[in-house]
Amino acid sequence: MIQQNVNIYQKSVNRILQVDPNSEQVNFLDSRFYTRNEKYYPSVTYILQYFPKNKFFENWLKDVGHNADIIAKKAADEGTLVHETIERYLNGEEISWVNSKGNARYSLEAWKMILKFVDFWTTHKPKLIKAEEHLFSDKYAYAGTADIICEIDGEIWVLDIKTSNSLHTSYDLQLASYLQAWNECYEEKATRAGILWLKSKSRGEDKTGKKIKGKGWEINESKRSNEENLLLFLKLIQSKHGLAAAKQHRATLCVLMDRAMLYGMMSPKENPARLTKLPRLEARDRLIHNDEFWSVINIAPPALQIAMLLGRGTGMREMDVLTKTIHDITDEGITNIQRKRKAGNRVVKQLFIYNAYIDLALQISQKHRTGECLMENNKGQAVTQSGFSSAWRRLMKQAIKTPQNPNGVIDSRFSFHDVRAMAGSEQDNVQDACKLLGNTEAVARKHYRRSFDRVTNPAAPTDINEIRDYLR
């Protein structure tokens, strides 16, 4: 039996991000959302469903076969029971293994994990700040429930209780997202985050005193910094496997919930799936400064140098650049045909008059190509769209400054779409931008007309000799 109100020291904190008292958690099928001021934020765990599983998980699936669902449900039920019991313990309730009739309330494995938590709590005597706290990030539009926020040795910790047999990278991302959300919600900032693992192989206390652990349990901190884990989480949100999958999932939910309301299976309120605000790391369109453009192009391979020069000099789309051959070169310039699928397959024929960017791109192409395509890979073959995407990712990884890459040349990545936008932004007016890009005025204003600060960014070079000065 675990007695009531033993070693439960509490500390109060000031909340700065207020929450609507009507906020609630919405669960539908495998999805979970949180309401916040009449908006629906996807939960952290819902987002992390799209995090790639490791090879050990795949091997486990092969080993257990059709029993995977049964095993997973049993483990989930056991984890839920342990979490609920720990929450009752932190609320000061008395916990016992057997009920009044002498029957066991918990399996032996679950009871052992509960005792391990009590061992942690009574040994290190943390000051409880919050338990099962709903947290929101308005900055990145997500929400989640943190298991425990407490103070240990003067530092505020975000703890997540895990009852799994092993730890996964997604747990580190989950903790980093909770840490960010807590620091948005409260004045008292948390500085540490760790997984309280109740199935650890630890044999006892850490003799060096560097780690918090005991027999069969430990607080596991990520080898990466919380900032690095948060960045990984935000990249997952924006990745095609994360955000695109979430959009597809939301569309399915919209249809299912509409039908559920139609047949009276749900209360006839506005469909929460349609109000869900999917998270975004930052605006899709990034302003590229002139110096950034040339810094990146100087470390780019020849094929990407050609693409960036043609993108800025002509405003051509990625696919149009990839398909250019020597047959598209005329005495006047480069010809291009755009097909606007969203506008009824409208065909836009363009002729890009020679300029300094096109001239330099053609000179680089002539120096490196062996066939008819303007852009070729190391093997002399035409660059494919997937090959271009892979090369662009490698270039951005090389170009971005990070603690692991201090020699980077830019602070944040940009896309080829943003390079194309430079061409539109450098036109004298919107009409010229529309003509160059083949877009309507509304689209050009929304995506491709971006103001440059001419004080900190010199005007775009127009002479080929002036452009050469930017190249090392």
In 132-162, which positions are buried (b, 16+ CB within 10 angstroms) versus exposed (e)?
Answer: ebbbbbbebbbbbbbbbbbbbeeebbbbbbb
Q: Residue type for 67, please?
A: N
CA pair distance 320, 416, nearest whole angstrom: 12
pLDDT bucket at 412, cuts 50 / 70 / 90: confident
CB atoms within 10 A of CB 423: 22
CA pair distance 116, 467, nearest whole angstrom: 67
For residue 197, give Cα distances in angstroms to 7, 127, 148.
20, 19, 13
pLDDT bucket at 271, cuts 50 / 70 / 90: low
- Residue 472 or residue 130, greater confidence: 130
CB atoms within 10 A of CB 190: 24
Domains of the chain: 9-238 (3.90.320), 290-468 (1.10.443.10)
pLDDT bucket at 319, cuts 50 / 70 / 90: confident
DSSP secondary structure letter of residue 202: -
Q: Among 177-191, 236-250, 353-367, 424-438, where is mean pLDDT lowest?
A: 236-250
Burial class (CB in 10 A: 0-12, 13-18, 19+), 128: middle
Measured in degrees and rounded to the nearest 5, phi and psi for residue 287 equal -80, 120
pTM of this structure: 0.54
Q: Is the pLDDT of residue 143 over 90?
A: no
Measured in degrees and rounded to the nearest 5, phi and psi for residue 10 equal -115, 150
Portion of the chain with pLDDT greater than 70, in percent: 67
- Residue 217 or residue 45, greater confidence: 217
Name the region of 465 (left: φ>0; alpha: ψ -120 to 50; beta: rest).
alpha
**Span 327-333, mean pLDDT?**
84
CA pair distance 383, 161, nearest whole angstrom: 48
Measured in degrees and rounded to the nearest 5, phi and psi for residue 198 equal -95, 10
Give the distance between the most distant pair of CA atoms in the chain: 95
CA pair distance 271, 276, nearest whole angstrom: 9
For residue 391, give Cα distances in angstroms to 360, 370, 378, 398.
21, 20, 12, 11
CB 398 within 8 A of CB 298: no
Name, in order, each residue with C-beta under 8 angstroms of 399's C-beta and a sequence gap of 6 or more.
Answer: 295, 296, 299, 408, 409, 410, 413
Angle between the 430-437 and 416-425 helix axes, to the nearest 10 degrees? 140
* Residue 449 pLDDT: 52
Nearest CA-CA partner of 425 in 460, 401, 394: 460
CB 352 within 8 A of CB 396: no
* Residue 196 pLDDT: 93
Q: Residue type for 351, please?
A: L
Model confidence pLDDT, tens digit, residues 272-311: 555 555 544 343 457 788 888 999 999 999 999 999 999 8
Q: Among 103-112, 160-169, 255-264, 451-460, where is mean pLDDT lowest?
A: 451-460
47: part of which helix (H) or strand (E)?
Answer: helix 44-47
Question: Among 80-84, 302-306, 368-372, 467-471, which range has the highest average pLDDT?
Answer: 302-306
The token pair at 367 is 């120096």
CA pair distance 272, 134, nearest whole angstrom: 18
